[in-house]
Amino acid sequence: MKRAAASAAPRKSADFRLPSARTLGRFLSEAQAAVRLKGQVTVLLTTDAAIRKLNRQFRGKNKATDVLSFPSESPFPGSPAEDIAGDIAISVTTALGQAADHGHSLTTEIKVLILHGLLHLAGYDHEADSGQMARRERLLRGKLGLPQGLIERAEAPKQVTAGGYGLGGFFQPRRGCHRSLAFGDR
């Protein structure tokens, strides 16, 4: 009975604060090791407007989404580009709404989106596989202590925007309107 009352309690404003770079950096290191993805990953925390522009530019979809993944392309074996796994762009605006919808903190939601993006950087594609990415994401969420993931949400009756599609190429975010985190080899 107390448990139900606690879950019905209003969310604290702290639950919807942007996590620190240190918190996300630690999680990114842990998740990247769990995914077994080597190389540098950059995480861009941005707005719906900016991610909509990226989605339109790289996927031809003129709408905001929660997460986009941009695997690096190595021009030739042994090049410095092999040290870069890729980039992940996350809309904090969308993540904030999804966190509220699913009853957890913004930090937790961003971690769910980072994991989803890392799996795309590692070559998984839930739109084209036979459930391999969903199974891998479910397993890793359990190991990392995360709630239900994006693929399961998309399959649930109440659909939530799912993003995180692997795109070739590398983008350079403009300074000033984004928060970007870059971390080295994991």
Q: What percent of the chain has pLDDT over 90?
A: 58
What ranges do the domains of the chain cover?
Answer: 18-169+176-183
Domain 18-169+176-183 top-level CATH class:
alpha beta
Residue with tokens 């695997």: 71
- Using alpha carbons, list the distances in angstroms from residue 76 to 72, 79, 86, 95: 12, 6, 16, 36
Write out pLDDT tens, residues 49-66.
999 999 999 999 999 999
Report pTM: 0.75
Amino acid at 173: P
DSSP string, 98-127: HHHHHTS-HHHHHHHHHHHHHHHHTT--TT
The neighbour count for residue 103, using CB atoms within 10 Å, is 12
Q: Are 45 and 178 in contact (CB under 8 A)?
A: yes
Write out pLDDT tens, residues 113-169.
999 999 999 999 988 888 899 999 999 999 999 986 666 666 654 433 333 333 333
Band (pLDDT 50/70/90 cuts) for residue 5 is: very low
